[in-house]
Structure formats: structure tokens, C-alpha cells
Amino acid sequence: MKKILFVCLGNICRSPMAEFIMRDLVKQLGVEEQVECASAATSTQEIIYDLGNPMYPAAQAELKRRGIAFTEKRAALLTRADYDSYDYIICMEQRNLRDAKRIFGGDPDRKLKLLLSYAETPAADLDIADPWYTGDFVSCANQITAGCEGLLSALGKEGVRAIAGGNLAC
């Protein structure tokens, strides 16, 4: 079982979209028992009195438009204990990466990566812009999908069936 934690600033847009996009891809491949996904925030700004805000409605709408199933998701805070609980900790932008390293006290096992570093054709800028500010949930979801497909390909090289070059590979 490979455990993946997607991380962004507030855990109401990008990281929950990544969580549900990856779950959808994993389900399409029939490898749900091999890959577990979750998401978390580096900031408490969307968590009030220990209760996280729900996924942003525009993020939900974009998932729905793509036919991607999702469940109720509330923002959760990244904790130091998460480092030992997950095999991959995937950040949406450099800021999240820096904040996660601060929360974890470093990255000795090299678990922290940017999602777009897995994309088949990595962009010059590996940051996925926050759609909370840009309003562009379509481009955000496209980038997340490209990164998740690349991550699945990388998992395939570790023995998990994955998408590789448009084909299923082991």
C-alpha cells in the first residue's frame, strides 16, 4: 500500500482536488487497494475552532464537471506525525513545500515533492497557482491531473499498476 498526502495552503481547493482526482484515476485502474490518498493544509486559515471549512464550491463544481466523485471534505492541518504516516507528501507549490519542511523539521527521507515535478512534460514553473486567487479552476484541475498521472506512472515503477504513456503498465 502506497500512501499519498496532497498538501496546499488551506486544503479547500488544490489539495482536495488532487486527492479526489487521484482517487478517480486509481479507481479507473482498479488499484484502490494499493494506493491511499488524503490531503492537508499548511495553514490554519481555513480551520476554525478545530473544524475545517468544506471544500470550496468552485472546486467541487470543477470535479463534478469532470465526472469525478467526491465526498464531504473538510480542511485538515498538516502535522509532524503525517511525515511518518505517508510515503509521498505532494505539495502544490514551493511555498507549501517550504512550510511542510518547517512543520516536519526537514525531509530526511525525501518524501516531499511538487506535484508538477511528476508531470510528463513538466512546466518551467512547477507551482500550481491557487485558484482561490486566480479563479481558474479548469487550468488548476488540468495541471493536477497531469501531475497525478505522472505520479501514478512513478508508482508503476515501484510495482503499482499505473498509467504510462497512455497504457496500463506494471
Residues annotated as part of the active site: 8, 14, 130
Amino acid identity, residue 84? D
Residue 163 carries which DSSP code? E
Distances from the Cα of 60 to the Cα of 20, 32, 95, 109, 154, angstroms: 10, 22, 24, 33, 27
Closest-CA residue to 15 (of 84, 76, 94, 92)? 92
Closest-CA residue to 80 (of 116, 40, 117, 51)? 40
